[in-house]
Amino acid sequence: MIDINQLNEKFKIEGVLTFKKLKNNLICLVVSNQYADATISLYGAQITSFRPKKEVEILWLSPMSYYEEGKAIRGGIPVCFPWFGPHKSDPAKPQHGFGRLMYWELMEVTENTHGETQIRLELTSSEITKAYWPYEFFAEMTFTIGKTLKVTLKVTNTSPIQFDYSCALHTYFNLSAIEDITIEGLKGTRYYKNGEPGEFIQESSKLKIHQVEDRHYYDTSATCFIEDPKFRRKIMVAKSGSKTTTVWNPGAANCHKTSDMPNEAYRRFVCIEAVNSLNDTVCITPGESHETSAVIGLKE
């Protein structure tokens, strides 16, 4: 059991950072600095809110989300690790891996010279993780809360043999309405569309979401932008350490089938994800590390 009083004694920054309990005694870290307000759950190392000062919330979080061990929190930025999507050989293993279903240990909270707040959490291999995945590893999630939000997953191979893994920073972006937004930055990029054979190339400069979308764009490190005229903003979605970008929206029918989403939730978010998967799966030798990062903010 995590002791919230001990966390406050060790990490609290007066007027900037504190802790609070969610449902079922899950604990989150709450940041409010000069740039933004943010909330991070220690369960799943998952940021669920990022709101720059005087702006509308950037991340979407389902009001019906589970806050329950063994189930993922629906929204924010879930961490998919050490596999993305269903397990390749065992469908009984959890979708998107175990990283988002485990408690991560808070290791460090700092403020830099610009007044940004940085939080670092860790997950280390154990007998529990080895029941799902046989390798020894050391994973870190680092969040930098400032004018922009930077999220980094760093994975280090502590096994005596090399291993490969796939991962994603599965970001849900808060929208005024899905039918009014466009996504820029993927023109001319090849993509695979889940459920459809073959390969496609995006020809238009702006992607509009009219139906279920589950696109996996190959060989791209491009920065994307979500233009939302009703919210009068353009969200920047930059990344590094990833050459796959996934764009996902469940559409009306799938949303109705999903127990932790309201029926109309598909209209209020789109996922643009920094991914290592498909032809961009990470392979690291003993002692090596890989970092996957996303940087999110408003274009001025």
Run means of pLDDT, 10 residues per run, the chain, 300 residues: 89 96 92 98 98 97 95 97 94 96 97 96 97 97 98 98 98 98 98 91 96 96 98 98 98 94 97 96 98 95
Nearest Cα to Cα of residue 96 among 116, 114, 80, 119: 80
CB 33 within 8 A of CB 116: yes
- The reported pLDDT for the residue numbered 233 is 97
Rg of the chain over Cα atoms, rounded to whole angstroms, equals: 19
Q: Would you call 228 helix, strand, or coil by DSSP?
A: strand
> Cis omega before residue 82 (within 30°)?
yes
Q: What are phi and psi of 82, to 5 degrees?
A: -95, 15
Is 273 among the catalytic positions? yes
Beta strands in 218-268 (DSSP E): 224-228, 233-240, 244-249
* CATH 2.70.98.10, applies to 4-298: yes
Choice among 273, 290, 291, 300 that is catalytic: 273
3-state helix, strand, coil in the chain (%, to 5): 10, 45, 45
- The reported pLDDT for the residue numbered 145 is 98
Q: Work out the angle at residue 220's Cα, subtended by the Cα atoms of residues 218 and 223, and round it to the nearest 5 degrees.
A: 140
241 φ/ψ sector (left φ>0, alpha ψ -120 to 50, else beta): left
- The reported pLDDT for the residue numbered 1 is 65
Q: Distance (Å, rounded) from C-alpha 292 to C-alpha 274?
A: 7
User: How far is residue 183 from each of residues 120, 202, 213, measured CA to CA in Å?
Assistant: 31, 12, 13
Alpha carbon 249 to chain centroid distance?
15
Q: Where are the domains of the chain?
A: 4-298
Is 114 among the catalytic positions? no
- The reported pLDDT for the residue numbered 196 is 87
Choice among 96, 116, 140, 170 that is catalytic: 170
